[in-house]
Amino acid sequence: MANLADTFYTFRFLKLLTTSWKKTEAFKEGVIDDKGKLLVKVKDQTNDQKDTYSTFHRLVYNIKRILEKVPFGSSKIKSYAGALFLLREETGMSEEDITNVLDQLGHECDVYISEGIEVIEKGDYILSTDIIGASKGSVVTLENTNHVGLFSGIPIYKTTHGLYLTANNMK
């Protein structure tokens, strides 16, 4: 059971880490701004706001803000599918095992819906979404169009800066 909980919290951590600030519940509740800065002090938060900004959220948001300060830094978790790919590689679990664990814990794995499959070529690309460590509009380079792996059938590519992305993250 401990492994099940560890996998769930790892997934939850990665999901929150790769979610843009504007799509978080804390942003929607007005607790943080679009850069993750705290707007409502913990002692002044309503119960609904506290649910969106727990100790776990503070930990993930602090790590996320630190990673965003490092341009193309050592962080390799840049997209949801990329994060799940790294989770699979680190744990040795199969995709099916990861999604089964998440299903058992009542957490929907929506990577199939949120990321499409596109064909890409070598060259420079502009990020189409904000990701950790790089913002929308940043230029990334692919020297090789061979994917480094797949997660849920979605090809994962590695840029020259060591970022793991899907074609959906680039234009």
Tell me: pLDDT of 38 over 50. yes
CB atoms under 10 Å from CB of 79, counted, come to 27
pLDDT digits (tens, 9 = 90+) for 2-29: 677 777 788 788 778 878 888 899 999 9
pLDDT digits (tens, 9 = 90+) for 96-148: 777 777 666 665 555 443 444 456 788 898 888 766 556 778 888 888 888 88
DSSP string for residues in 64-126: HHHHHTSTT-S--B-SHHHHHHHHHHHH---HHHHHHHHHHTT----HHHH-------SEEEE
pLDDT digits (tens, 9 = 90+) for 132-144: 556 778 888 888 8
pLDDT at 114: 42
Do residues 133 and 68 make contact, with C-beta atoms less than 8 angstroms apart?
A: yes
* Distance of alpha carbon 140 from alpha carbon 48, whole angstroms: 39
Collect all residues with Cβ–Cβ distance below 8 Å to 99 and sequence separation of at least 6: 109, 152
Residues 71-100 have a mean pLDDT of: 65
